């Protein structure tokens, strides 16, 4: 027995790696390849994963993010099924009953994996009356390998076998009880004549090395794109967030799978090519039909030398109208691409007066060739929005930017463009558009931190991230650079390429550098959540481009947006300035301004000789802020630059206006983009605000009396608190009529 153990110990691991295809994987791979040949895959949209550092081996795994792709959902399902199989599984016993033989096999397989071996299906016995009435499941090392006739080659391969006559087994027998078929264990043995494997080895047995269908599609697409097998494995490890070597399959499995499916892939490519051509023609016909129905709808396309559609782009009349009001700040998103069609997607968004994204236009490009991007810039026709960019031809892209983009937007250039990290794009914007500020979205920076720094920092990453977040919000440039050097030195990141990349972009993402750039609150977490929701609505697994076009049109159509119900906006300070702003601003903008008004009460002012003011917190927790006041034309400017940054007056300016006995905010400091009248969608009845004021006065009076009475004793307070909590829960569960809801929407505006 000792001899058997020692001779097989070194055999397990190597044979497991060598025989993936022969011992159970070949059938699985062949079935998938056949399936792919029969039916092209659905339209899968994924995030771009190439790291902007320029290293082709470096890929980004986005932190805390659902990637809005079919693949990510399948990975999640795979993880769920794995965790469910890891639940406690007890040793099988004679007499144990299962509904089906497959249930029994799954149970025994889970038990085997937990105990360091795998199983296979052996013999089955069949009768004319019962059909198959017996199933034999045995250890993967049961029996002995039958000698094969040697091939007529000069150096035949001497394949060693893992079979050693192991007697571990589970026999099932079928019976019918009260008309119900069931299976029970008639024989069971758990005696092995070989060494059982540890967890890190048992997962490499062929029975447990399976490439899920989502991974198979990904592998084939990456292979077709020219990725070598070792790089494909690296990409999958990054996407799943696992350590190297921890995938449920090994590199050789991937190589065998690609080789086995090579012919099927070629056949499937022909089907996909035909599908792309047909779907693109359908998309073009949909654009033509839309242009006939709506004269303000614009589109354009190109064809190749065979008169087949290559690239196509479109926009809507609502988008042009929205840009006239909300075109001061534009977010350019090039995050997604379709791996089924090989199409690149670029989408332009604005932010409206309710803090929600406004669709401005999009484009689909067949490839990243120079001709495709050149067409995207030199659009034929009138009033067109330039679509997507690529770092390889960004200078060409921006050289046509002013002609196409400004013509589409009727000569008006945005104050600020927000994008992802792209070094060529940064340089080109500075050269070609000196009057437009280029900002890197903070979300794009933070979403990459985990992928960049967790491998090198390990357990120190959370501490690094906390300090990095604090550094992002520093107001002074000198302080930022000082703290940056301290951060780099403390975590020993001086030679890190990603730290160097971020520092080279420092003029585009930290608050200390962009505090004077107008962003209209488009870098808030809420805005980016809204962008994600928009993409989830249009990037589902459509089977054709026409459905994608319809979903984009539905999401972009302002008529399909729900009316903005005017939430009740109660005042907190009773200052005339607050009351005046409440009647002019949207709830979103008023909430931001009200927060500043409330905090302004905590600041003291000191008038200087030139009429300006020094404003500081009464506890002196912050530094001083200089507020310049020019009375001749009612100009006010603060050193914090909040108004220049968001279009909302800061607490320091509001404090000075209060001191100067202003009962209304000067007209120039209530931007049209934040006003109720600038809404793209009709608002609900504003008369409800007056009724809400009356209701609020009643509640305030009642609440004040209740508070006074409840503070006499602790028992009174506890009783009031308990009853109010119960009452609140009851009211929240009550149905709300549409008529009353429009006039009395609950005030759920965050006070943060």
Tell me: the pLDDT tens digits for 2-35?
Answer: 333 333 333 333 333 333 333 344 444 444 454 4
Tell me: the pLDDT tens digits for 436-446?
Answer: 899 999 888 99
* Rounded-to-integer distance, Cα 55 and Cα 435, Å: 32
Return the higher-pLDDT residue of 73 and 642: 642
pLDDT at 730 over 70: yes
* Rounded-to-integer distance, Cα 267 and Cα 389, Å: 32
pLDDT at 663 over 90: yes
Say what the pLDDT of residue 566 is: 56
* Rounded-to-integer distance, Cα 347 and Cα 342, Å: 17
Provide long-range contacts, Cβ within 8 A and 24+ apart, for 53-59: 53/497, 53/498, 53/501, 54/423, 55/497, 57/231, 57/234, 59/234, 59/235, 59/238, 59/239, 59/451
Q: What per-residue string of b and e applies to 284-309 under the rule 16 or more CB within 10 Å gives b? A: bebbeebeeeeeebbbbbbeeeeeeb
| Average of per-residue pLDDT values in the chain | 77
pLDDT at 67 over 70: no
Say what the pLDDT of residue 502 is: 93
pLDDT band at 402 (very low <50, low <70, confident <90, very high): very low
Q: What's the residue count for the chain?
A: 752
- 3-state SS string for 499-567: HHHHHHCCCCCCHHHHCCCCCCCCCCHHHHHHHHHHHHHHCCCCCCHHHHHHHHHHHHCHHHCCCECCC
Say what the pLDDT of residue 467 is: 94
Say what the pLDDT of residue 363 is: 81
Say what the pLDDT of residue 485 is: 95
Return the higher-pLDDT residue of 90 and 503: 503
What mean pLDDT comes out for the span 207-211? 83
pLDDT at 605 over 70: yes
pLDDT band at 221 (very low <50, low <70, confident <90, very high): confident
Furthest-apart CA atoms within the chain: distance in Å = 109
Say what the pLDDT of residue 565 is: 53
Return the higher-pLDDT residue of 400 and 255: 255
What mean pLDDT comes out for the span 527-553? 84
* Rounded-to-integer distance, Cα 692 and Cα 255, Å: 68
User: Does pTM top 0.85 for this prediction?
Assistant: no
Tell me: the pLDDT tens digits for 471-485?
Answer: 999 988 999 999 999
pLDDT at 577 over 60: yes
């Amino acid at each position: 027995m000792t001899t058997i153990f020692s001779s097989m110990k070194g055999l397990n691991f190597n044979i497991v790696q060598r025989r993936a295809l022969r011992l159970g994987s070949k059938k699985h791979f062949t079935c998938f390849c056949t399936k792919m040949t029969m039916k092209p895959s659905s339209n899968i949209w994924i995030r771009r994963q190439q790291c902007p550092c320029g290293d082709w081996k470096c890929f980004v795994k986005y932190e805390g993010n659902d990637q809005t792709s079919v693949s990510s959902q399948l990975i999640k399902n795979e993880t769920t099924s794995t965790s469910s199989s890891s639940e406690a599984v007890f040793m099988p016993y004679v007499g144990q009953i299962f509904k089906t033989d497959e249930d029994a096999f799954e149970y025994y397989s889970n038990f085997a994996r937990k105990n360091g071996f795998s199983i296979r299906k052996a013999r089955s016995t069949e009768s004319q009356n019962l059909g198959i009435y017996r199933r034999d499941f045995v250890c993967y090392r049961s029996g002995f390998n039958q000698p094969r006739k040697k091939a007529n080659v000069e150096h035949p391969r001497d394949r060693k076998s893992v079979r050693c006559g192991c007697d571990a087994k589970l026999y099932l027998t079928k019976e019918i009880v009260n008309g119900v078929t069931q299976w029970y264990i008639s024989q069971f043995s758990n005696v092995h004549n070989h060494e059982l494997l540890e967890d890190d080895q048992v997962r490499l047995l062929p029975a447990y090395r399976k490439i899920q269908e989502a991974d198979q599609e990904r592998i084939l697409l990456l292979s077709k794109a020219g990725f070598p097998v070792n790089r494909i494995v690296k990409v999958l490890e990054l996407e799943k967030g696992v350590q190297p070597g921890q995938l449920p399959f090994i590199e050789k499995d991937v190589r065998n799978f690609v080789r086995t499916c090579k012919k099927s892939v070629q056949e499937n490519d022909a089907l996909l090519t035909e599908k792309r051509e047909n779907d693109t023609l359908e998309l073009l016909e949909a654009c033509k039909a839309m242009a006939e129905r709506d004269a303000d709808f614009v589109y354009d396309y190109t064809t190749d030398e065979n008169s087949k559609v290559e690239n196509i782009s479109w926009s809507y009349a609502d988008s042009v109208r929205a840009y006239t009001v909300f075109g001061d700040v534009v977010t350019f998103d090039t995050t997604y691409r379709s791996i089924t069609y090989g199409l690149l997607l670029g989408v332009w968004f604005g932010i409206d007066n309710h803090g929600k994204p406004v669709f401005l236009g999009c484009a689909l490009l067949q490839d990243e060739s120079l001709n495709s991007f050149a067409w995207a810039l030199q659009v034929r026709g009138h009033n067109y929005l330039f679509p997507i960019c690529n770092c390889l031809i960004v200078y060409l892209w921006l050289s046509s930017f002013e002609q196409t983009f400004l013509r589409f937007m009727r000569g008006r250039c945005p104050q600020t463009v927000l994008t992802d990290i792209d070094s060529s794009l940064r340089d080109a914007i500075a050269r070609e558009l000196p009057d437009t500020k280029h900002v890197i979205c903070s979300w794009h920076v933070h979403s990459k931190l985990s992928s960049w720094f967790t491998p090198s920092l390990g357990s120190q990453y959370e501490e690094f991230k906390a300090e990095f977040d604090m550094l992002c919000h520093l107001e002074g440039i000198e302080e930022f650079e000082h703290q940056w050097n301290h951060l780099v030195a403390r975590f020993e990141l001086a030679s890190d390429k990603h730290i160097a990349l971020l520092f080279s972009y420092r003029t585009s993402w930290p608050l200390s550098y962009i505090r004077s750039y107008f962003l209209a609150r488009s870098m808030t977490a809420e805005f980016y959540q809204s962008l994600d929701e928009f993409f989830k609505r249009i990037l589902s697994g459509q089977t054709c481009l026409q459905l994608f076009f319809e979903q984009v049109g539905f999401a972009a159509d302002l008529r399909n947006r729900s009316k903005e119900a005017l939430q009740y906006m109660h005042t907190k300070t009773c200052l005339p300035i607050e009351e005046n702003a409440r009647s002019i601003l949207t709830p979103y903008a008023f909430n931001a301004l009200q927060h500043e008004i409330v905090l302004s009460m905590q600041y003291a002012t000191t008038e200087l000789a030139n009429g300006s003011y020094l404003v500081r917190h009464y506890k002196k927790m912050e530094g001083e802020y200089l507020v310049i006041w020019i009375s001749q034309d009612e100009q006010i400017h603060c050193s914090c630059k909040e108004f220049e940054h968001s279009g909302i007056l800061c607490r320091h300016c509001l404090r000075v206006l209060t001191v100067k006995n202003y009962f209304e905010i000067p007209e120039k400091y209530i931007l049209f983009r934040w006003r109720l009248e600038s809404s793209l969608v009709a608002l609900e009845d504003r008369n409800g605000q007056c009724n809400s004021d009356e209701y609020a006065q009643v509640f305030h009076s009642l609440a004040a009396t209740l508070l006074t009475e409840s503070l006499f004793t602790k028992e009174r307070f506890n009783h009031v608190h308990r009853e109010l909590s119960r009452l609140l829960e009851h009211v929240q569960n009550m149905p709300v009529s549409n008529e009353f809801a429009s006039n009395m929407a609950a005030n759920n505006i965050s006070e943060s």
